[in-house]
Chains A and B, each alone.
Chain A
Amino acid sequence: QVQLMESGGGVVQPGGSLRLSCAASGFTFNTYGMHWVRQAPGKGLEWVAFIWYDGSNKYYADSVKGRFIISRDNSKNTLHLQLNSMRAEDTATFYCARGKKDGSAQLGMVNYHYYYIDVWGKGTTVTVSS
C-alpha cells in the first residue's frame, strides 16, 4: 500500500526555520520524483517544490525560491523540505506528494519531463506566529 507520511510541522516565529519530512512506503521511492504542495487555511492549493528521483534537479515556486530547500534521502525513503526565513504567509498545511511521469520531450538540446501528482500524504501543519 502506497503511503506518504509527513512530519515536522509546528509553530515557528517569523524569520525562523523548520524542517519537514515525508516518509514514503509501499513503492520504489528512488524511481519517483516528489512534490511539496501547501494550502493556507481556507485557501486553495499552492505548488511549492519538486525534486527528481535522484535529486539531480529541483524546481521551486517563486514565492519560496531562495528560502525553502527540497531534498531527499533515497537510502531512507525520505523527502525533506527545509523552510528558512519564514513569514506569516507561509502558514499552511504542507503536503508531500508523489510525482508520476507523464512522458518526456526533447526540444532542441533540452529534455523535458512532465510530472503530475498521483498520491498525496495527509499533510503537516506549519504556523508562523510571534
Chain B
Amino acid sequence: EIVMTQSPAALSVSPGERATLSCRASQNVNSHLAWYQQKPGQAPRLLIYATSTRATGIPARFSGSGSGTEFTLSISSLQSEDFAVYYCQQYDNWPSSFGQGTNLEIK
C-alpha cells in the first residue's frame, strides 16, 4: 500500500498571501495525484487531478505541480473561502490512499 504524507499538518496564512502545501508518496505514483478541499460539515470537493489539471469551476489561484513522489498544491492570494482542510490522494495503485490532510487556517 502506498502511504501519502502531507506537510505541514496545519498552516496559518494571512488572507491575500500564498499558501504552499506538500504531499509525498512512499513510491512513484506517476502523475496520478488529486487534491481535494473539505470544509466543516461538508463533503470533500475535487480541486486538482492528474497532478496539475484544475477541476471544472476551480479558480486559477489554485495550482498543482510535481511528479513521481513529490507534489505541491499552491494557492495564491488566499481568499476567506479557501480556509479549509486539503487532502491529496494517489490513484496510481490499488488500494488508493489519501494523505492525512493539511488544515489551512487564517492567521
How far, in whole Å, are A60 and B1 apart by their CA atoms in the complex?
Answer: 11
CB-CB under 8 A for A45 and B43, given A102-B32, A116-B34, A116-B89:
no
Of the 9-residue stretches A8-16, A82-90, A118-126, which lies at the interface with chain B?
A118-126
Which single member of B36, B43, B94, B100 contacts A50 (CB below 8 Å)? B94
- In the complex, B97 has a CB within 8 A of chain A: yes
The answer to whether B49 touches A45 (Cβ under 8 A) is: no
Contact flags (1/0) for B30-47 with A, using CB distance below 8 Å?
001010101000011110
> Which residues 41-96 of A have a CB within 8 angstroms of B?
44-47, 50, 59-62, 95
A32 contacts the other chain (CB 8 A): no
B32 CB contacts on chain A under 8 angstroms: 102, 114, 116
B91–A115 CB distance below 8 A: yes
Partner of B49, one of A37, A47, A118: A118
> In the bound complex, what is the Cα–Cα distance between A93 and B97 (angstroms)?
17
In contact, A114 and B91 (Cβ under 8 angstroms): yes
B59 proximal to A (CB < 8 A): no
